[in-house]
Structure 1
Amino acid sequence: MTQDESRARQHDQTPHTAPCGGFTLVEVITVLLIIGILSALIATRGNTLNSDLPARMSEVRAQLRYIQLKAMKSGASYLALQCSNSTYWAYDTATPSTYLLLPGEKSATISLTDKNMAMNAFTIAFDRFGIPYSGSPLAKLSTNATITITAGGQSDSLYVTPETGFVP
């Protein structure tokens, strides 16, 4: 046997090491990115119900402030926001059958069902000085008026303060 043949045979008999069975850095980073994107999507979809209540609270707060400012600007005797079991609306107490269109609404009568919310029945009116009144007949607020709103399986309350009509 020649030296070259001996080396070839020796080379064939040396144990070959198999490549490692691990993952490359690129594969690990790709999997982590996919997991991160999926978890972000799941987290944001799960929070849609929780965001309904703050959105509805903010909407009603803005509508109360709008009615108060409109009453002060127009000099009307009283402008009111009233809620029954299924709807709410704004009106001038001098012409209670004529409803006012609230900003961002398509109809003067707003359906609570369409907004996926519920509110307790109330009447809040503001005079030309922005002072809040409540009840029937209207009486100046002596304590906070409470409006309870339920949306997305949660409930919270808005408070209209006496004298100023501030809704924190």
Structure 2
Amino acid sequence: MRWRNSVQHNLGRRALTPRGKQGFTIIELVVITLIVGILAAVIGTKMFDMSSAEMATRRMEVASRIRHAQIRAMKQASVWGVRCDATDYWLFTGNDPDSAADRRAFPGAGADKVSLASKGMAMDAFTVYFDRYGIPYTSYTSAAVNTKVGTGSAVGFTLTVSGSGDSHDFSIEPETGFIQ
């Protein structure tokens, strides 16, 4: 009996509550879903900026190519480096970065020089050499005249992606050749 009275009491209360307090109507759910969808589309496109993705891609490409020169120098126990003249950049072996005979193509590049304009980027001119231990140098002509990175001259350069104006400053750490 007691259970029956409580059920009747609850049913009676529900009958007395206004219709708006029972839940959401289909129209309200559809309107809220549309508003949330529109907000997600607008905010999502603002958060994912293609220029920053392009910059990250170019930054990783340049850093990995410099790292490739360092690895080649350590594997082959000879001098390797990367040179950029603000128009093109290339991989070289030996002491003369401007010698066409000493230029080598980067893996997947096809040609021995990579055009900065074709990649949609600009870079400061720089030259970095790596010895057989992977130590970076700004000058490498002979054992007596070599200039290690960090002994008065650091290797630093700026990469700028065209169109977006985004730029990234690179630096090559002394002794380890770590690229930041």
TM-score when scaled to structure 2? 0.69
Cα distance in structure 2, aligned partners of 1:30 and 1:166: 49
Displacement over 6 Å in runs of 4+: none
The structure number with the bigger radius of gyration is 1
Equivalence for 1:164 = 176
Residue 136 (structure 2) pairs with residue 132 (structure 1): yes
How far apart, in 1, do the equivalents of 2:43 and 2:120 lie?
Answer: 26
Structure 1 residue runs of 5 or longer lacking an equivalent are 1-21
Does the aligned pair in 2 maintain the 1:147–1:158 contact within 8 Å? yes
Q: 1:25 to 1:104 in 2, by over 3 A?
A: farther
Tell me if 1:74 matches 2:76: yes
Of all paired residues, the percent bearing the same amino acid is 30
Gaps of 5+ in 2: 1-24
Asked whether the 8 Å contact 1:122–1:135 carries over to 2, the reply is: no
The alpha-carbon deviation at position 60 of structure 1 amounts to: 1.2
Residue 113 (structure 2) aligned to one of 94, 109, 112: 109
Which structure would you say has the larger RCO, counting Cα contacts within 8 Å and 6 or more residues apart?
1
1:13 corresponds to = none
Q: Which has the higher strand share?
A: 1
Distance 1:106 1:39, change over 3 A: farther
Pairs within 5 Å for 1:1-168:
24-36=27-39, 38-39=41-42, 42-43=45-46, 47-76=49-78, 78-93=79-94, 96-98=99-101, 99-135=103-139, 137=141, 139-141=147-149, 142=151, 143-151=153-161, 152-168=164-180
Are the equivalent residues in 2 in contact too, given 1:82–1:90 (CA < 8 A)?
yes
Does the Cα contact within 8 Å between 2:129 and 2:140 map onto a contact in 1? no
Matched residue of 1:81: which SS? Answer: strand
Tell me the equivalent position of 1:4: none
Provide, for residues 78-127 of structure 1, a one-character-per-residue CA deviation record: whole Å limited to 9, x for no partner: 11100012100001126732322213423221111111111110110101
**Alignment partners' CA distance in 2, 1:158 and 1:101:** 22
Q: How many residues align?
A: 145
CA RMSD of superposed structures (Å) = 2.5
Say which SS state the counterpart of residue 91 (structure 2) adopts.
strand
Work out whether residues 157 and 171 of structure 2, in 8 Å CA contact, stay in contact via their aligned partners in 1: yes
TM-superposition CA deviations, 1:51-86 (whole Å, max 9, x none): 22222222111111111011000112x111000121
